[in-house]
Chains A and B, each alone.
Chain A
Amino acid sequence: MKGFLDYALGDTFFHHLNPLIKLLISLLISIAAFISGSHLFIAALIALNLVMAARAGIFQRGVMLLAGLLKFSAFIFILQLLLVRRGNPLLHLPLNLVITDAGLSSAFLIVLRLIAGTMPLAIMLSITQMSDLSNVLVLKCKVPYKYAFALTTAIRFIPIFAGEMAGIIEAQTSRGVEMDTKNLFKKVGLILPLCVPLLITSVKKIEDSAISAEIRGFHLRTGQSCYKRYMVTAGDMAVLAFSAMLIALACIF
């Protein structure tokens, strides 16, 4: 998932939404996904996510995100499939395991929910500048700047670490280590030791970043320091109303 959460520059309707509204609608869509018990409705939410990604000019990233989440949920799917024992048996497996129709249905539901619940936030964070997010948290939610900054810095560092990891893996591959093995256990065995150097450089990076903020007057900042203004526009209200409607629909379906 290259570029995951890395800010995607753009000038679309979704980019210009108020950062707080972006957070709010992704939250509402996630809630809708968890309220609804209908496979179809949740699948429609996932489709809606892809449409939003497309309108925000990051369709490809949306698809990559979906693919990544699908891979990730495969494990949960199988687990759920094997653990649910009620319903009509469809298939008997060795070790006294059984696959039932109810298990199949709930496994699908969980995976769909997981995907539909995760995508909105990932998409919205991709098109939100972290500085804007911390600014509105301070201005509108009265979060102390220190905490807002810490939160947004943490999010901002995710793609940086991912890039770093990719760099380390590339370096290992070029030294002849077979990092692209399909064997999951082997791969984990190869990646795990790399996490130590990553952790060390990461801690140093965060420390340096904090120092850099400090010597540019971080501690002098007041709640009203922010230059940009963040308004809630008609467009913001419209998407908010739409998301609220999704919740209502989720309650029905």
Chain B
Amino acid sequence: MITIEGLTFQYKNSNRNAVEDVHLSIRGGDFLGIIGESGAGKTTLIRAINGIIPHHLPGDYYGSVQIDGEDTFDVTPSAISLKVGTVFQDIDSQMIASVVEDEILFGLENYSIPRDEIEARLSGALDAVGISQLRYRNISHLSGGQKQKVAIAAIIALRPKILLLDEPTSELDPQSSLAIFRLLKELNEKHGLTIIVVEQKIMLLSEFVKELAVMKGGRLLLHGSVRNVLKNTEQIGKSGINCPRVATLSNRLTELGVKLDGVCVTLDEACSMARRLMYD
């Protein structure tokens, strides 16, 4: 359970709030997608949840972030990391080893995971993101997408209760992006992980997550279930994001007085809607 209350943060040597008066509460088991144009404050919000703000990045901090009732202001990021795993946007600088295997081992060793459990976790995490064959490879010789998978595996291996991912598919091809989101969905549904993912690809996001949050200029513009958020084509457009075409289509039809049962999120839904409209 994450409770964010009136969070406002301004980086030192910046003259505007990177996030402003954000109220957000995320229950255990939620799968939340955050979207917003560049500079909207998505990364800043992620940093505030895992404690990097205010512990590592100086600035003006107001409001509070609580994880299971514990204020992140009062505990160190390492302590928070026992519950919250983060995959950062900048992939290169979050690698701390030269070989894939060691990258995954790093966190496991830090948490003093028992020896007999380490191998299972290590190979399990590599397998889950589909990079078992990269285990002994040199990280600096991997492609951007492969590194992204390594970063995800390194966090998954730690089995955090809450998973934060900042644009985890930015360097991935469509197929791999889909695979990552399928994995996230599985982690969320089967293992009950709470997942917060920042993503630019709104189609992909709305197909998988349960809730959406739209940010603009540091503020939380919209928040709610995917269907409820996607009803607001215009507001989403104002935030600098293109609402998925299928949602826009069904919203327009509703405006025109066509009776539909809610907004379409996926292409499949749009197809069955079209079929119904034609034959009924």
Instruction: Name A's B-contacting residues (CB within 8 A).
Output: 6-7, 9, 129-132, 153, 156, 159-160, 163, 204-205, 207-222, 224-228
Q: List 12 A-B contacts (CB under 8 A).
A: A131-B98, A153-B96, A209-B94, A209-B96, A213-B106, A214-B52, A215-B80, A216-B107, A216-B158, A217-B81, A217-B110, A224-B112
Given A131-B97, A218-B78; A212-B109 close (CB under 8 Å): no
Instruction: Name B's A-contacting residues (CB within 8 A).
Output: 50-52, 56, 76-82, 84-86, 88, 90, 92-99, 102, 105-112, 115, 118, 136-138, 140, 154-155, 158
The CA-CA distance from A163 to B92 in the complex, in Å, is: 12
Given A7-B98, A215-B86, A220-B78; A131-B105 close (CB under 8 Å): yes
A208–B98 touching, CB < 8 Å: no
Question: In the complex, what residues of B have CB within 8 A of residue A132's CB?
Answer: 102
A7–B99 touching, CB < 8 Å: yes
Least CB distance from B147 to A in Å reads 13
The CA-CA distance from A220 to B78 in the complex, in Å, is: 7
B81–A216 touching, CB < 8 Å: yes
Least CB distance from B144 to A in Å reads 14
A129–B86 touching, CB < 8 Å: no
The CA-CA distance from A160 to B56 in the complex, in Å, is: 23
A225–B93 touching, CB < 8 Å: no
The CA-CA distance from A40 to B84 in the complex, in Å, is: 60
A212–B78 touching, CB < 8 Å: no
Question: In the complex, what residues of A have CB within 8 A of residue B86's CB?
Answer: 215
Given A131-B97, A209-B94; A215-B78 close (CB under 8 Å): yes
B97–A129 touching, CB < 8 Å: yes
B110–A208 touching, CB < 8 Å: no
A215–B52 touching, CB < 8 Å: yes
Least CB distance from A56 to B in Å reads 15
B78–A219 touching, CB < 8 Å: yes
The CA-CA distance from A220 to B52 in the complex, in Å, is: 16
The CA-CA distance from A166 to B97 in the complex, in Å, is: 22
Among candidates B81, B90, B140, residue contacting A214 with C-beta atoms closer than 8 Å: B81
Among candidates B82, B99, B106, B155, residue contacting A9 with C-beta atoms closer than 8 Å: B99
The CA-CA distance from A225 to B111 in the complex, in Å, is: 8
The CA-CA distance from A114 to B68 in the complex, in Å, is: 59
Question: In the complex, what residues of B have CB within 8 A of residue A131's CB?
Answer: 96-99, 102, 105-106
Nearest neighbor of A145 in chain B, beta-carbon distance:
B110
| Apart from A211-B77, A217-B78, A217-B107: 10 A-B pairs, beta carbons within 8 A | A7-B140, A131-B97, A131-B99, A131-B102, A156-B98, A210-B56, A211-B52, A215-B80, A216-B155, A219-B78
Nearest neighbor of B51 in chain A, beta-carbon distance:
A215
The CA-CA distance from A163 to B79 in the complex, in Å, is: 34
Nearest neighbor of B47 in chain A, beta-carbon distance:
A211
B107–A129 touching, CB < 8 Å: no
Nearest neighbor of B107 in chain A, beta-carbon distance:
A216
Nearest neighbor of B119 in chain A, beta-carbon distance:
A227
Question: In the complex, what residues of B have CB within 8 A of residue A208's CB?
Answer: 88, 90, 93-94
Given A217-B81, A218-B78; A212-B93 close (CB under 8 Å): yes
Least CB distance from B166 to A in Å reads 12
Question: In the complex, what residues of A have CB within 8 A of residue B51's CB?
Answer: 215
Least CB distance from B253 to A in Å reads 45
Among candidates A129, A222, A226, residue contacting B99 with C-beta atoms closer than 8 Å: A129
B102–A226 touching, CB < 8 Å: no
Nearest neighbor of B84 in chain A, beta-carbon distance:
A215
B118–A218 touching, CB < 8 Å: no
Question: In the complex, what residues of B have CB within 8 A of residue A156's CB?
Answer: 98
Given A9-B137, A208-B88; A219-B112 close (CB under 8 Å): no
Nearest neighbor of A130 in chain B, beta-carbon distance:
B98
Least CB distance from B116 to A in Å reads 11
The CA-CA distance from A151 to B182 in the complex, in Å, is: 39
B154–A216 touching, CB < 8 Å: yes
Among candidates B82, B96, B138, B158, residue contacting A213 with C-beta atoms closer than 8 Å: B96
Nearest neighbor of B80 in chain A, beta-carbon distance:
A215
Given A129-B99, A208-B90; A160-B140 close (CB under 8 Å): yes
B97–A130 touching, CB < 8 Å: yes
Question: In the complex, what residues of B have CB within 8 A of residue A130's CB?
Answer: 97-98
Among candidates A160, A214, A225, residue contacting B78 with C-beta atoms closer than 8 Å: A214
The CA-CA distance from A218 to B78 in the complex, in Å, is: 7
B81–A215 touching, CB < 8 Å: yes
The CA-CA distance from A105 to B102 in the complex, in Å, is: 48
The 9 A-B residue pairs with the shortest CB-CB distance, nearest first, are A217-B110, A208-B93, A212-B94, A216-B107, A219-B78, A7-B98, A131-B102, A225-B109, A221-B110
B98–A129 touching, CB < 8 Å: yes
Nearest neighbor of B106 in chain A, beta-carbon distance:
A216
Question: In the complex, what residues of A have CB within 8 A of residue B106's CB?
Answer: 131, 213, 216
Among candidates A6, A153, A207, A226, residue contacting B140 with C-beta atoms closer than 8 Å: A6
The CA-CA distance from A130 to B52 in the complex, in Å, is: 26
